[in-house]
């Protein structure tokens, strides 16, 4: 039975965003005319992250060419590519004094390279303006086109993130224009190129436990390093309903399962999203690698 109108469990309730740092980040984002996934995807962690002066920048406009049934980002006619965006994003990162930046985008199937060249340019620009800043890119599948993927890979982000999002049996419902194997291939090719890779799933859409474990095994098989697991939250009544809420204890069990399978780091919890505690996860990975 689908959950349509039910009070949020207490573990999903968060304080309203406020505070000096939150307001400063909001003003900065507005000043540079930037989009953030924090706002566009209605992220529940916006208050916590912005208070810590971190944000996930969303490039290539705020109109997506796909119609994923879980996503709060608007589907519609995409805007023209803004060639000044790489410089504006880099300047915002410099102003925030970030040591770790996360860059994502809407899916731009209308562009010949899916926006790969803008991702690469932003990586180069950040490295020029903010030397030493670590960069994670959360990319769409770029239709699996090798030439487009190579453009991003050759820019050498510190982490290449591409979300699997859900189990194969739910793809037609959840990601009708995506393909499970194609998403796996994106991560496999990134790993073969020598990049640190990361992926994530939402839970609560109707997936079975054995299906989640199998996806985790599939990701480990191709060498995926990091995994995030979080609770799906319905952005509006027009989106897919929540099948059920996973408890913090269930997320902990899945984290332990993921680590036993071989992931370097697993971030799992009801409020976890792709970039949640991303810098901390990366730092732990580097420390463990140094010890090894």
Whichever domain contains 195, its CATH number is 3.20.20.70
Q: What is the pLDDT of residue 2?
A: 46
How many other CB atoms sit within 10 Å of the CB of residue 67?
12
Structural domain includes residue 5:
no
Structural domain includes residue 4:
no
Q: What is the pLDDT of residue 11?
A: 65
Structural domain includes residue 223:
yes
Structural domain includes residue 284:
yes
Residues of the domain holding 91:
11-291
Contact yes or no for 203/231 (Cβ under 8 A) = yes
Structural domain includes residue 1:
no
Structural domain includes residue 199:
yes
The tally of domains found in the chain comes to: 1
Contact yes or no for 75/31 (Cβ under 8 A) = no
- Per-residue confidence in pLDDT tens, the chain, 292 aa: 344 445 777 766 655 554 666 666 666 666 656 555 544 445 555 545 545 556 678 899 878 888 878 776 777 778 899 999 999 899 888 888 788 889 999 999 999 999 999 999 999 999 999 998 999 999 999 999 999 999 999 999 999 999 999 999 999 999 999 999 999 999 999 999 999 999 999 999 999 999 999 999 999 999 999 999 999 988 778 889 999 999 999 999 999 999 999 999 999 999 888 776 777 778 788 877 776 6
**Structure tokens of 278?**
């991303």
Q: What is the pLDDT of residue 109?
A: 95
């Amino acid at each position: 039975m689908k959950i349509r109108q039910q009070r949020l469990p207490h573990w999903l309730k968060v304080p309203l965003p406020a505070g000096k740092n939150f307001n400063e980040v909001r003003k900065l984002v507005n000043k540079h005319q930037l989009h953030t996934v924090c706002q566009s995807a209605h992220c529940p962690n916006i208050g916590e992250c912005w208070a810590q002066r971190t944000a996930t920048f969303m490039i290539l406009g705020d109109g997506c060419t796909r119609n994923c049934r879980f996503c709060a980002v608007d589907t519609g006619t995409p805007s023209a590519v803004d060639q000044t965006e790489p410089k504006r994003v880099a300047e915002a990162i410099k102003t925030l004094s970030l040591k770790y930046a996360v860059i994502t985008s809407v899916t731009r199937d209308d562009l010949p390279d899916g926006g790969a060249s803008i991702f690469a340019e932003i990586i180069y620009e950040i490295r020029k303006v903010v030397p030493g800043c670590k960069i994670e890119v959360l990319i769409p599948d770029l239709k699996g086109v090798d030439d487009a993927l190579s453009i991003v890979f050759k820019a050498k982000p510190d982490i290449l993130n591409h979300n699997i999002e859900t189990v194969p049996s739910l793809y037609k419902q959840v990601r009708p224009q995506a393909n499970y194997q194609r998403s796996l291939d994106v991560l496999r090719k990134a790993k073969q190129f020598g990049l640190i890779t990361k992926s994530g799933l939402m839970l609560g859409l109707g997936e079975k436990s054995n299906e989640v474990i199998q996806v985790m095994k599939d990701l480990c098989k191709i060498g995926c390093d990091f995994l995030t697991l979080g609770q799906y939250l319905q952005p509006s009544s027009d989106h897919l309903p929540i099948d059920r809420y996973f408890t913090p204890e269930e997320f902990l069990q899945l984290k332990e399962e993921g680590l036993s399978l071989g992931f370097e780091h697993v971030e799992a919890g009801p409020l976890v999203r792709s970039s949640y505690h991303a810098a901390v996860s990366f730092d732990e990975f580097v420390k463990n690698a140094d010890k090894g």
